[in-house]
Amino acid sequence: MDRITLCDLEVFYRVGVTEAERAQPQRLLLTVEMEHDLAPAAASDRLADTIDYFAVTQRLLRLGEGRHWELIEAVAGDIAQLVLRDFRAQRVSVEVKKFVLPQARYVSVHLSAQA
């Protein structure tokens, strides 16, 4: 299957187990791999025949407005469902990187789902 990848999209979401951790939006990096048959778009050169990655990006940038999560696993799950439901991906993989441990560059989760 063909794939479109958004790599390390910077977003700011309220996420954390404790209330104090959720008090302010935290910087996260999202990598979203969307599987879709790209042959029609390659032949037609029409945006309607592919996944509009700009539209996906805009949705993800706004996704955290007015909401919070305790776990980055839940963030990844919500993103996967949004992409499958609203952007016609046949399969999606989401990686969420969180910068919470001073001893590590980041902690991440990777979740995959399919339509």
Active-site residue list: 98
Alpha carbons within 13 A on the beta-carbon side of 100 = 19
| Cβ contact 5:33 at 8 Å | yes
φ/ψ region of 66 (left if φ > 0, alpha if ψ in -120 to 50, else beta) reads: left
The one-character DSSP state at 25 is -
* 57 membership: H or E segment, kind and range: helix 53-62
Integer-rounded Cα radius of gyration of the chain: 15
* 55 membership: H or E segment, kind and range: helix 53-62
